[in-house]
Structure 1
């Protein structure tokens, strides 16, 4: 069975909106687009290339699909591993409005997104990767369909914007299966997280003293 993995760039305060440029996503008046760009370097690029080498397909929300479809088909260099993967591998878009996608090997998944993704997981293969697609991740969070999260935490506070995880979802614990420092000066912390079930709790309180 294929695994569903989700890769996101987040700020220290959990914002994932528009990491790649000022015009990427200005919804709700967001004015800090491009906040991830100053921190990228060769180590960051190598991490991304390594990740895309694991992909057998991509699962995208409508907004991210539109951004990718406007950019990546224009990158035709076969030596570019990210463009080659995105342009050649299957792409699945969760959308109730997209009807005639022009990007090669794109399939629209309509209806209930959780049911659609569960069916997608039944096919053989390695990773079907989610990139960006915050609304899609939030709709799938806690539903047992995302097998692995790769969260790249950037050393910047933004103070507002679309966040990775939804408010009000049941608490979930994660196992950290990989941790790396990448990017300029090692300033990006790349965490690989596998959900483990309901979050555990404990206490540092001292036990009551005997004798009252």
Structure 2
């Protein structure tokens, strides 16, 4: 049975929007603005280990296209090992508009998202990582399909922007299972979703 793991980066005030600044959001680019060299080294090590341990990625269409477009850059800037795994891992993209994915090992899930992801959890044995894909993340939480949340908090406040939990309707308890410092200023939290 698969385990849906949402892995996200956020500012201290919870903003997840436009971490690299490429989307043109006025407060974008916070990822590198709020992280030092040691922070980024620790982040890369954690991200690489997480991706190597996963069995699959689950993404929305826009996030899939975002990662696909940046893989050559990530190979150099992040980690060749991480980029190789991102390219080789089985990827499932929830989309009603994507017909012919160009990224290697990509399968499109174009039916009812909750039903498709439930079936995916039955087929995949191990962790299914969700990067970005905030609209999909909200659906996974609302449908009680998410099992774990891994959240890296960047030490800065941007004041405005899309937040991970924007638009979620229900109050939901989470159980903290781990907290640790990454580098000099990042904090990594792991939560389990309480059913």
TM-score (norm: length of structure 2) = 0.90
* Unmatched tracts of structure 2, length 5 or more: none
Residues 10-65 of structure 1 deviation map (CA, whole Å, 9 limit, x = unaligned): 1122110111x221x33xxx212220114133222211112112111100011111
**Structure 2 CA distance for aligned equivalents of residues 189 and 168 of structure 1:** 24
The structure having more radius of gyration, on CA atoms, is 1
Which residue of 1 is the match for residue 6 of structure 2?
Answer: 6
**Structure 2 CA distance for aligned equivalents of residues 83 and 134 of structure 1:** 22
1:114-129 alignment, distance < 5 Å: 114-129=114-129
Instruction: Return the match for 2:27 from 18, 32, 51.
Output: 32
Which residue of 1 is the match for residue 40 of structure 2?
Answer: 41
- The question of whether the paired residues in 2 share the 8 Å contact of 1:52 and 1:81 is answered with no
**Superposed displacement of residue 81, structure 1:** 2.0
**Superposed displacement of residue 179, structure 1:** 0.8
Residues 75-123 of structure 1 deviation map (CA, whole Å, 9 limit, x = unaligned): 668x722111111111111111100111111111112211111110001
Instruction: State the structure with bigger RCO (CA 8 A, min sep 6), 1 or 2.
Output: 2
Which residue of 2 is the match for residue 66 of structure 1?
Answer: 65
How many residue pairs align between the two structures?
189
**Structure 1 CA distance for aligned equivalents of residues 137 and 97 of structure 2:** 18
- The question of whether the paired residues in 2 share the 8 Å contact of 1:73 and 1:87 is answered with no
**Structure 1 CA distance for aligned equivalents of residues 30 and 73 of structure 2:** 24
Which residue of 1 is the match for residue 186 of structure 2?
Answer: 188
Residues 111-170 of structure 1 deviation map (CA, whole Å, 9 limit, x = unaligned): 221111111000142111001111111122131111111011111111111110133521
TM-score (norm: length of structure 1) = 0.83
SS at match of 1:121: helix
* Unmatched tracts of structure 1, length 5 or more: 198-212
Cα RMSD after superposing both structures: 1.8
Which residue of 2 is the match for residue 103 of structure 1?
Answer: 103
Which residue of 1 is the match for residue 56 of structure 2?
Answer: 57
